[in-house]
Amino acid sequence: MKHLLLGLYIGIAGIIHAHSSEMLGLPGWTIVSEIKNDSIPEGDVILEGNVKMFSSALPLSDVRIGTSSSETLTDSLGDFTLNAKASDSLFFCYRSGWSEIYEINPNFKSQHIITIDVYLFQERQIMKKPIIYLYNDTPINAQIKITPKGEFTFTYPKYEDGWNVSVQPKGGIVDLKSNKEFPYLFWEAETEGLFFDFTEKQMEGWVIKTDTCISFLENQLTALGLNEVEQTDFITFWAPILSKDEYAVIQFLLDDVYQNNIAEIEISPKPDAIRRVYLLTAPLNNAFIGINMVPQTFAPFQRNGFTVLEWGGTELNFLDLKF
């Protein structure tokens, strides 16, 4: 996505800028030196410097460094050089999953070589409300173990090296430790690096107008095999989140992709049927994201015997859509 989209996103937090060496090593960007060079044309500047990880001071490659007139990427050593204009109204540093630098009117000095140090910290993403439903025609005891690609932030009932439960015929779940009944098992976790699956040419998913999100979700969740109770739980949680902006990007991760990218699950005895549905979404203020969207299609899900259904999701930053 063109760097001009950065100008649309005005709520970025965590921006730190200082001209003092006392700020070196803190998250943000610091001008280390400004050296006059008469060989640089009037009105131009040269920006150079290095981007590091705040946590370890290791170099950070593939960071987009830019101004309102030009941009570049850091190399494998975190270094960059950029020809820019003193009149540029924007300076930014951006890499998916990391803190962002966004400075309006940086006031670079004409005919100067400006050396900049940048420190970025890695952002954490929330795996929101993954919940697990268990069904069986007759009572059955089961053990469920979840290993998220990150760290638990909350579980209910309390997760202690797994859940040991009794699955009831009508869908209730009795936690064998507390002897309390629950409609589903709940967990949340923090992770990092979660991103849409796409190629340079296309992405499977949708850009929807969010005033249609309820009918959209009803149609897609039916195709995915969720029953009415599961759909109600999903929609009442996600529809308000999707409706925050006028448009939203939506992509579903299913089954084996869920297992490999969201959380591994072990269930004993082995289910006869299992479906895992994970929503990735990003808010947009217009319908254009610069890539061809191809609607996803889903293999039918047949409930049979001991059945498990899980759903969850993560809201991503639309700046991650760097097509």
Beta strands in 95-156 (DSSP E): 101-104, 112-120, 125-135, 140-148, 151-156
Q: What is the DSSP letter of 86?
A: T
**Which residues span the domain enclosing 26?**
3-120
pLDDT at 8: 32
Q: Are residues 74 and 196 in the same domain?
A: no
Q: Are residues 139 and 99 in the same domain?
A: no
In the block, tokens 């039916």 appear at 222
Q: Are residues 115 and 181 in the same domain?
A: no
Of residues 17, 83, 87, the one with CA closest to residue 48? 83
Q: Say how many domains are in the chain.
A: 2
Q: Are residues 101 and 189 in the same domain?
A: no
Calculate ∠ Cα 84-90-95, nearest 5°: 90
Q: Are residues 110 and 150 in the same domain?
A: no
Q: Are residues 91 and 183 in the same domain?
A: no
pTM value > 0.85: no
Q: What is the DSSP letter of 107?
A: -
Q: Are residues 97 and 134 in the same domain?
A: no
Calculate ∠ Cα 141-144-147, nearest 5°: 175
Domain CATH code at residue 60? 2.60.40.1120
Q: Are residues 131 and 74 in the same domain?
A: no
User: 258-282, pLDDT tens digit by residue?
Assistant: 999 999 999 999 999 999 999 999 8
Which residue stretches of the chain are H helix?
Answer: 213-224, 228-242, 255-261
Average confidence (pLDDT) over 172-195: 91
> With 60 as the cut, is the pLDDT of residue 16 above it?
no
- For residue 132 the two structure tokens come to 């697990």
- Give the integer Cα–Cα distance in Å for 62 and 95: 7
